[in-house]
Amino acid sequence: MQKGFEDGLKASFVESFGETCRTAAEGSGAPADLTAKVCKCTADELIKKYSASDLIGLSPEMAAPVMKQCAAKSGLPV
């Protein structure tokens, strides 16, 4: 039961984080194709790195290094 809850929470996190990330980045003028790639990478890496309970309280300070790493992988300046 716990595994199903955690998997569901992580799936919900990926969707929610991705949408919020893309909206913020595109609103700042970032290209949509790169934005989607970086946001997906970031969400995927965050769910690998953090537990479901950590994701609930995720702070920008926790996400920033992961996002920078994904941006660099996509060829964006960091």
Residue 78 lies in a domain: no
Residue 74, pLDDT > 90, answer no
Query: Percentage of the chain with pLDDT > 70?
Result: 97
Residue 21, domain member (yes or no): yes
Around Cβ 58, how many Cβ atoms within 10 Å?
13
What is the distance between the alpha carbons of residues 17 and 15, in angstroms, rounded to a whole number? 6
Range of the domain at 37: 2-73
What pTM value is reported for the model?
A: 0.86
pLDDT confidence of residue 1 = 55
Using CA atoms, how far apart are residues 76 and 46, in angstroms rounded to an integer? 19
Indicate whether 45 pLDDT > 60. yes
Please list the alpha-helical segments (H only) found in the chain: 2-27, 32-49, 52-56, 60-73
What pLDDT score was predicted for residue 35? 92
- What is the number of domains present in the chain? 1
